[in-house]
Amino acid sequence: AQEVKDEEKLYRYKGVLYPRILCPEENLKALESVEAREDDILLAAYPKCGFNWMEGVLTKIMAAGMGKQPQTLKPPLLEFFGPDMIKVAASPRLLGLHLHPDNIPASFYTKKTKMVVVFRNPKDTAVSYFHFSNGNPVLPSQSWETFYPQFLSGDVPWGSYFDHALAWDKKIDDPSVLIVTYEELKQDLSEGVRQISSFLGFSLTDAQIQKISEDSTFKAMKETSASSHGPLGNVFFRKGEVGDWKNHFTAEQSQEMDRAFSKQLAGTRLGARLHY
Ligand code: A3P
């Protein structure tokens, strides 16, 4: 991956940028034919909102609830695999994606697959994405000054943060969708674990919920990140805090993003939950 020039690392599919090596066009095309199963659990998140955190939590909840490990893709994104790879996984599968909800294969909606969505405030998401882009060889390296306007205008892999947030807000009352936020999980992880477990139909004991929460703190997950995520472990589990944006945004950038946020998400219930 290091040998690919920065300007060739991303490409557009249906107008949206994707990392070329991980999400080749044939995979994205083939996604349309993916067959969901009723007992799949789908984790959906805009990049850098806490996908890997929730993947760990969901795996542990499913394992505790079923008494056996679920089948997951490694790395766990549908976009990285063709449908044949997905087909061979035994049920119940834990599947993940970063796609905009309108681009999720239709079968997940017709089968009413349970979807857990994690969202995060836009400023910390942007900062996390900036560091990730510099730390992950399949993405271009760049300065904050060049990355920030791209994030604001949605010209980053998987598209606009605001478009994703707006589209998920419209699904907030869908009984097959549970939206959790990074900030709420930081505030009370065991409550989040309890909520997700009951949404998925598992009745876990208090002790199980406690254990899952203790094993899913940032510190606990960072400690095991080399074995769970290989050499990029430290890039995936970077800082794990709310408010790191204050170390990167200028006052002008902060105000500009506040204006973009109000313009696009004011009055939405999801927007009201994305505190920063
Ligand atoms: P930072 O870059 O702000 O540290 P994703 O998994 O969607 O790529 O999101 C990555 C972000 O989630 C990173 O944010 C990472 O540190 C944070 N994260 C991962 N595990 C976490 C945990 N257990 N608790 C809190 N934050 C976590």
* Mean pLDDT, the chain cut into blocks of 10 residues (276 residues total): 81 97 94 92 97 97 94 86 81 94 96 98 98 96 97 98 98 98 98 98 97 98 95 95 98 98 96 90
CATH number at residue 102: 3.40.50.300
Q: Quote ipTM for the complex.
A: 0.99
Q: Tell whether 93 is covered by a domain.
A: yes
Which pLDDT does position 192 carry in this prediction?
A: 98
In a domain, 31, yes or no: yes
| pLDDT for the residue 1 | 45
Instruction: Give the mutation target among 22, 48, 97, 151 for probing the ligand 1 site: most ligand atoms within 8 A of CB.
Output: 48
pLDDT at 179: 98
Q: Which domain holds residue 85?
A: 6-273
What's the domain count of the chain? 1
Nearest to 100 by CA among 86, 79, 123, 82: 79
Catalytic option among 98, 100, 164, 229: 98
pTM beyond 0.90: yes
Q: Which residue has the least CA distance to atom 10 on ligand 1? A: 48
User: Active-site residue 98, yes or no?
Assistant: yes
Q: Return the pLDDT at 72.
A: 83
Do the domain assignments include residue 175?
yes
Q: Which atom of ligand 1 is nearest to the CA of 47?
A: 7
Beta pairing, strands 93-97 & 41-44: parallel
Question: Does 1 fall in a domain?
Answer: no
Specify the pLDDT at position 276: 77
Q: Check residue 74 and give its pLDDT.
A: 80
CA pair distance 107, 127, nearest whole angstrom: 34
The answer to whether position 147 is within a domain reads yes
Distance CA 117, CA 44 (A): 5
User: Which residue's CA lies nearest to atom 12 of ligand 1?
Assistant: 50
Phi, psi for 70 (deg, rounded to 5): -75, 160
